[in-house]
Structure 1
């Protein structure tokens, strides 16, 4: 395996509407601005919207990879913003839940890209369905996005609970989005921390950043342009750039923790054969 493993992390959430895909797009943009080779995987397979946020119309998407033998290099779309995307399909029921063969096909296809990228950002769907859990198990780090809304908090806790109790995942990065002020953001994080500490022993939460509510974000969505391209000095972009800097300190590791990892299929299967 390549000694310089890509850092693979998910941007995930317990509920929709928390700005998760906007976070993914702008982290990809900021990391690419730092000279990193970034691939953004739209893993909300049945309700893809990365392409909508960017105003692009890729010729191929993951449906073609799974069903029409299109190569992963053909599916990859190079954006004008310095990063590439692996687009998914929208409104295709066959993509709502990947079967075992499709999961292995995706892992095998991703192996080809191992030495070509520094960061793989996996923008998952929301909730606790099979695809969301699968992609959160396949990554090295999980960035959980939540907002001050009570439903966002309870659904974030539900995702952590399932990952912890059913899959043994106990470490999460947290990003509070659309925060009216720092005090509110810290209170939200504290509530999540206290709930996990009380009911889910051993869970570790690390607050990566607080993104303030920013009207520039809506303008960026309407113009189908990354916020940090449209308004680099806006309050939200400043904090997204800070979060991206923190991510550059995350270290990819070759140690397996019992879960399938992107790019690690060969190593995983080797260990299984030895056992």
Structure 2
């Protein structure tokens, strides 16, 4: 069984790397709803808009971010936990300068890390001496401890949902556990694979009705992604659709979501629980917390 990532002596980041990035977790209750495709395209759209972006794959046992981007990692997070390399050694350069931290695929022990090991991974990011504006965290599907910890440690959570009963039910279950067990009070909802412009808002309303009734959580409809043959072709080419086919309907939608996400302010103070890049916030001093999205 791997041990938690050890905290080495604190690294004093350069001035360019001092500011804490905005960390956005992408999650879903059910698998197969396009969560990783969303993470990849959101990150690619951020880079294309001039954001220094890191894409972190935390689907620790069945990772595929590197596959979707056609990358061949030398090291993964499994090597970090085994002590074979440092976290910084895993960073790959993806398209247009996108930074990617790959996880391992087919490593059962990585899917069975302890809660302490999940927290250790979160803390390790404070030691990265890299200038980063935004970090996108691609989670595994479901409500495992790692998913909950990585979502709690992020500043915003995007839940991807499709208009099918199992996806809606599992999305509600994820939101409920994040809210009741981890204190997450705001969730961004992305409706995926919609057939037309009306399906996304209608799907969001279904989810919002039940959460409003039973939970103390605020949902925001960040946008919808249409069913798009060009998206399937981009996946086959191992490229983000926003890069492979910039004028495709899905590309236009992803750029709109990325634009709205970029308006979210980075937090200036720690929130008092496990959090990515918390040491950077402490080092940078205190100030007003990030505001709600418009």
TM-score (norm 2): 0.86
Is residue 15 of structure 1 aligned with residue 30 of structure 2? yes
From 205, 211, 220, the counterpart of 1:206: 220
From 225, 236, 239, the counterpart of 1:225: 239
The residue that corresponds to 1:166 in the other structure is 181
Is residue 251 of structure 1 aligned with residue 265 of structure 2? yes
Aligned ranges for residues 85-234 of structure 1 at < 5 Å? 85-113=100-128, 116-200=131-215, 202-234=216-248
CA distance in 1, matches of 2:171, 2:213: 15
* Preserved CA contact (<8 Å) 1:124 1:132: yes
Q: Which runs of 4+ in 1 moved over 6 A?
A: none
1:223-265 deviation line (CA, Å, top 9, x unaligned): 1111111110000100100111111101111333343110115
1:181-234 deviation line (CA, Å, top 9, x unaligned): 12121111001000001111x210011111111011111111111111111000
CA distance change for structure 1 residues 3 and 82 in 2, over 3 Å: closer, same or farther? closer
* Preserved CA contact (<8 Å) 1:97 1:131: no
Alignment size in residue pairs:
267
SS at structure 1 position matched to 2:190:
strand
TM-score (norm 1): 0.92
1:140, distance to aligned residue in structure 2 (A): 0.6
SS at structure 2 position matched to 1:30:
helix
CA RMSD of aligned residues (A): 1.8
CA distance in 2, matches of 1:104, 1:42: 15
Query: Where do 5+ consecutive residues of structure 2 fail to align?
Result: 1-12, 283-294
CA distance in 2, matches of 1:24, 1:229: 14
The residue that corresponds to 2:8 in the other structure is none
